[in-house]
Amino acid sequence: NAGVTQTPKFQVLKTGQSMTLQCAQDMNHNSMYWYRQDPGMGLRLIYYSASEGTTDKGEVPNGYNVSRLNKREFSLRLESAAPSQTSVYFCASSESGYFSQPKETQYFGPGTRLLVL
Amino acid sequence: RKEVEQDPGPFNVPEGATVAFNCTYSNSASQSFFWYRQDCRKEPKLLMSVYSSGNEDGRFTAQLNRASQYISLLIRDSKLSDSATYLCAVNIGNGGSQGNLIFGKGTKLSVKP
């Protein structure tokens, strides 16, 4: 199993450009998440999808859109990139999102490093 | 009070030392707690889950104190390879409904020879 995969690994954009970050998981998880991580700010939730067909805003959704394409894939789109969106983006997945079972937690992808000039 | 708080460190300790980190949380209804390890320029990886009174895994012990609303991570006999940032995560759901994890900003540990 590959776990959670993300593409691309690195990306440089100019202000105003758009791009889509791709995420896929092969663990048959129901819930998927997008985070950004900035120095001194920790991991902040952008959007999440509790199950296929649903998406909800997290702590910092402005400037982003998401699509839960199917159970495996959850993409994050920047319509008009801004320098403030320079960050490391992590996708994660979990079995149900209830975290009530001892081994249920979130599994993270390797991240996408995005620089917006 | 922020939802999940950690001492950012850095904690600089010699090999073989015992080191402990605390993580406080504000939502008394939180049911699930985790410690993650994050190496430089890598993704967070689960280190331990903490569900009841705590648990132990080799040199690592995690404890939960519901009354004071904090979890702790104890590392005994520190190794150079333990150098990393340790993130705590708390479920903000109440167990009966789906919730999300809130992460602390992390505590940086540096183990020196």
Q: What is the 3-state secondary structure (H, E, C) of B50-100?
A: ECCCCEEECCEEEEEECCCCEEEEEECCCCHHHCEEEEEEEECCCCCCCCC
Q: Which residues of chain A have pLDDT under 50?
A: none
B100 to A33: CB separation less than 8 angstroms, yes or no: yes
A85 phi, psi to nearest 5 deg = -95, 5
Inter-chain touch B101–A48, beta carbons under 8 Å: no
Q: Is A104 helix (H, G, I), strand (E, B) or coil?
A: coil
Which residue would you say has higher pLDDT here, A99 or B69? B69
Residues of B within 8 A of A100 (CB-CB) are 31-32, 95
* A67 and B CB contact within 8 Å: no
Is the pLDDT at B54 greater than 90? The verdict is no
- Report the pLDDT value the prediction gives residue A100, as an integer from 0 to 100: 62
In sequence order, the β-bridge partners of residue B72 are B22, B63
Q: How far apart are CA A53 and CA B68, in angstroms?
A: 39
Q: What is the pLDDT of residue B31?
A: 80
Q: Which residue of A has its CA nearest to B35?
A: A105
Q: How many CB pairs under 8 A join A and B?
A: 57
> What is the residue-averaged pLDDT of chain B?
89
Tens of pLDDT, residues B13-50 = 999 999 999 999 998 888 889 999 999 999 999 999 88
Cα torsion B36, A55, A59, B106 to 10°: value is 10
Identify the pLDDT of residue B9.
86
Q: Residue B96's pLDDT is what?
A: 44
